[in-house]
């Protein structure tokens, strides 16, 4: 069964505000947790990953937080822009090559 899931299927954000996208996971043995972005009509695109022994990792305008105590992962997007409108997937990976994806959160940015 699916071990990675998202709290909310949709998120509406005002342009310029910060976005927080949440994800719950159940497989404590996963080595990595990864965020992907999928724009309409396109394939997913890698955003950022975090190793299971880390709590926080920052990228360009994005921060991923990992709380292993409650098995929770979040993606924070600073100063959300219209180009951030997309479906965001969290995924987990064990000690093999396979990714297991959650169902996705659709983010809509309001002008």
Q: For binding to other proteins (CB under 8 A), which residues are involved?
A: 2, 4, 9, 31-32, 34, 41-46, 49, 89, 91, 93, 97-104
Beta carbon nearer to other proteins, 40 or 69: 40
Provide the minimum distance between the beta carbon of 96 and other proteins in the complex, in angstroms, as a whole number: 9
Write down the least CB distance from residue 7 to other proteins, Å. 14
With CA atoms as reference, report the closest residue to 80 among 40, 105, 44, 109: 109
Give me the least distance between CB of 14 and other proteins, in Å please.
Answer: 25
| Residue reference for tokens 């997309």 | 86
Q: How far is CA 85 from CA 13, 104, 106, in A?
A: 9, 13, 8
Residue 9: other Cβ atoms inside 10 A: 10
Nearer to other proteins, 17 or 55 (CB): 55
């Amino acid at each position: 069964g699916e071990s990675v899931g998202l709290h909310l299927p949709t998120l509406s954000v005002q342009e310029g505000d910060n976005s927080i996208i949440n994800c719950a996971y159940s497989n404590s043995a996963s080595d990595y947790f990864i965020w992907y972005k999928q724009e309409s009509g396109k394939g997913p695109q890698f955003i950022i990953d975090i190793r299971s022994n880390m709590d926080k990792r920052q990228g360009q305008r994005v921060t991923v937080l990992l709380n292993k105590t409650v098995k929770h992962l979040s993606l924070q997007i600073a100063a959300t822009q219209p180009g951030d409108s997309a479906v965001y997937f969290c995924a987990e990976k064990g000690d093999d090559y396979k990714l297991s994806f959650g169902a996705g959160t659709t983010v809509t940015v309001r002008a």
